[in-house]
Amino acid sequence: MTRRKWFSFIVSTALLVVSAACIAPAFAGGQQPKEERSKPFTAERHIGLGLTCKDCHGEGKKRAVKGDKCLECHQSYEVVAKSTQDIKPNPHANHITTNDLDCTSCHKGHDADVVYCTNCHKGLSFKRTPATSKN
């Protein structure tokens, strides 16, 4: 094989490998590509509110965020449950979330959120109801 053909082969192979590496995550585990998702990940929503990586992950080496860190801004589980009271069933006020389920059980930061409830309640879906006035 000539030097030119060898170089072409190496470049083509490298491009193929890089292309495959870029698109593979979109198909792994059924996860949709970012541009096709209908809801941004938790981290993207926080960035949209003006937070930085350091606000959740702290200084130094990046590490997973635990629920107690979430409560520094979100105050308490009760406050979070009140903010989602128009969702039925309320994902933050039920027999699991009132027993110290960590926020990251559902909210996955840089990955798609999951509905922990469906581990037992197959087919469960949440419905937003119109806010009602008590005047």
Tens digits of per-residue pLDDT, 1-24?
688 777 777 767 766 665 555 554
Q: How far apart are CA 135 and CA 119, in angstroms?
A: 39
Q: How far apart are CA 128 and CA 85, in angstroms?
A: 9
Tens digits of per-residue pLDDT, 73-109?
888 888 888 888 888 888 888 777 666 678 888 888 8
The structure tokens listed for 70 are: 């979430």
The model carries a pTM of 0.60
Task: Indicate the pLDDT class of residue 33, thresholds 50, 70 and 90.
Answer: very low
31 pLDDT above the threshold of 80: no
Direct distance between the N- and C-terminal alpha carbons of the chain, in angstroms, rounded to an integer: 84
The structure tokens listed for 61 are: 């080496």
Which amino acid is it at 68?
D
84 and 126 in contact (C-beta within 8 Å)? Answer: no
The owner of tokens 């949709």 is 32
26 pLDDT above the threshold of 60: no
SS3 105: helix
Read off the pLDDT of each residue in 18-41 and give the average, rounded to a whole number. 50
**pLDDT computed for residue 14 by the predictor:** 64
Domains, the chain, in order of start with CATH, read: 32-128 (1.10.1130.10)
Nearest in space to 105 (alpha carbons), one of 56, 47, 66:
66
